[in-house]
Amino acid sequence: ETLDKGLEKTKTSFFSKLSKAVAGKTKVDDDVLDNLEEVLVSSDVGVETTLKIINRIEARVAKDKYLGTDELNQILREEIAGLLSETNVGNETDFTIPIEKKPYVIMVVGVNGVGKTTTIGKLASQFKKAGKSVVLGAADTFRAAAIDQLQVWADRVDVPIVRQEMGSDPASVAFDTLKSAVAQNADVVIIDTAGRLHNKVNLMNELTKIKRVMQKVVEDAPHDVLLVLDGSTGQNAFEQAKQFTLATEVTSLAVTKLDGTAKGGVVIGISDQFKIPVKYIGVGEGVNDLQVFNKIEFVDSFFK
CA distance 225 to 175: 16
Question: Pattern of binders to ligand GDP over 135-174, x per CB under 6 A?
Answer: --------------x-------------------------
Does the protein bind ligand GDP through residue 125 (CB under 6 A)? no
Cβ-based neighbour number of residue 187 at 10 Å: 20
Residue 46 φ/ψ region, left for φ over 0, alpha for ψ in the -120 to 50 degree band, beta for the rest:
left
Interacting residue with ligand GDP among 39, 67, 210, 283 (CB under 6 A): 283
CA distance 32 to 26: 10
Q: Tell whether residue 11 is among the known ligand binding residues.
A: no
Interacting residue with ligand GDP among 12, 113, 129, 249 (CB under 6 A): 113
For residue 221, the 8-state DSSP code is: -
Q: Tell whether residue 121 is among the known ligand binding residues.
A: no
Smallest gap, in angstroms, from Cβ of residue 227 to ligand GDP? 11
Q: Phi then psi for 87, rounded to 5 degrees?
A: -120, -10
Q: Tell whether residue 115 is among the known ligand binding residues.
A: yes
Does the protein bind ligand GDP through residue 118 (CB under 6 A)? yes
Q: Are 163 and 150 in contact (CB under 8 A)?
A: yes
CA distance 157 to 24: 53
Does the protein bind ligand GDP through residue 206 (CB under 6 A)? no
Query: Which helix H or strand E contains 300, and what residues bound it?
Result: helix 295-303
User: Reduced to 3 states, what is the DSSP secondary structure of residue 138?
Assistant: strand
For residue 27, the 8-state DSSP code is: B
Question: Pattern of binders to ligand GDP over 240-279, x per CB under 6 A?
Answer: ----------------xx-xx-------------------
Smallest gap, in angstroms, from Cβ of residue 169 to ligand GDP? 20
Q: Residues interacting with ligand GDP, by CB under 6 A?
A: 110, 112-118, 149, 256-257, 259-260, 282-285, 289
**Where is the binding site for GTP, in residues?**
110-117, 192-196, 256-259
